[in-house]
Amino acid sequence: MATPPLPGEIDFTNLPDLAVLGQTLFKRVPIGAIVVRLSDSQIILRNPAFRHIANDDITTVSSLLDTCCVDPTQREQIHQQITQAKSRADKEETSEMPELVLDLKGTDGRVRIVQHYALLFHKMDIAIGIFRDISDIKRKYRALQKEAFTDELTGVGNRRGLMERWNEEMEDDPNQVIGFLMIDLDQFKPINDTYGHAIGDHVLQSLARRLRKGVRKSDYVARLGGDEFGILLPNIQSRTMLDTIRNKLLVSLKRPVITNTLKLNLSGSIGGGLYPEDGQDLPAIMVHADHSMYSTKKSIPARKRSKKHRVTARLPVA
């Protein structure tokens, strides 16, 4: 008498012919799948779902990666995985390649975000590759992430986004030099008190755009709260470069903001810090930059500050 299967085990006696079942699954499953000959990397079998990822002109794994994978780092990662998996042929009957997310460009020009996994059967000289299109999931996640990390008023980053970007930079290259600038608008409160928050909001939006245009695309501008902004500058060359950017932004902040019938003259105070020289993490760098900023404020004579911070001149009504 046959022993009944344990919970979680498959009862093979009740399954249809496994060859037929395997063929049916291979054809019908809505996930791209290929069978590859290990000796020459030829794609010897592909299912219909894979044709949404790459067409039949792609005949080898190498051509798939070189033609379709748009990210050089991802190409290098998967080539390394293949080499490592093949090196285990003398020790294991089967080996696997861990999950890896790839950006693959199809013949239709669309870039699909694909989750890849592979299992190698060394004695059979074949590998099975699985390609799951997760584009919609990833794009929805990125949209939610962008919303969570973006300041609603100005469109630049917020504190959470700043910390997330810092963490990404640390993961990519913890040995790089990173600059940080802390920016505070001088005497911004009188604008809100005199002309209302709508005008104040317009000023903040205008100055956020200036800050973003005044730095590199790789730099990250964030509104930290109120009239305070921060800028993260990865892979900065030196403190001299940080000071050059700081001075450039100070000039930019002095340009008047035009809104309705008002010409608003402002200025800003900017302090800077460098990782790792001024601190070993982002909070420490921010504290250093904040102290530097307030030292700059105190160094400006009161009479000069008062003159510089006159905030408005009324324009003629058109």
For the annotated catalytic residues, the residue numbers are: 227
Distances (CA, A) of 58 to 61, 271, 301: 8, 54, 70
> DSSP letter at 184?
E
Token readout for 286 is 């921010």
User: What does the alpha-carbon distance between residue 171 and residue 290 come to, in Å, rounded to a whole number?
Assistant: 25
Of the candidates 76, 274, 284, the one whose C-alpha atom is nearest the C-alpha of residue 176 is 274
User: What does the alpha-carbon distance between residue 10 and residue 119 come to, in Å, rounded to a whole number?
Assistant: 21
What sign for the dihedral angle of Cα 217, 219, 223, 228?
Answer: negative
Identity of residue 242: L
* Sheet strand arrangement including 268-275: 220-225, 228-233, 178-185, 268-275
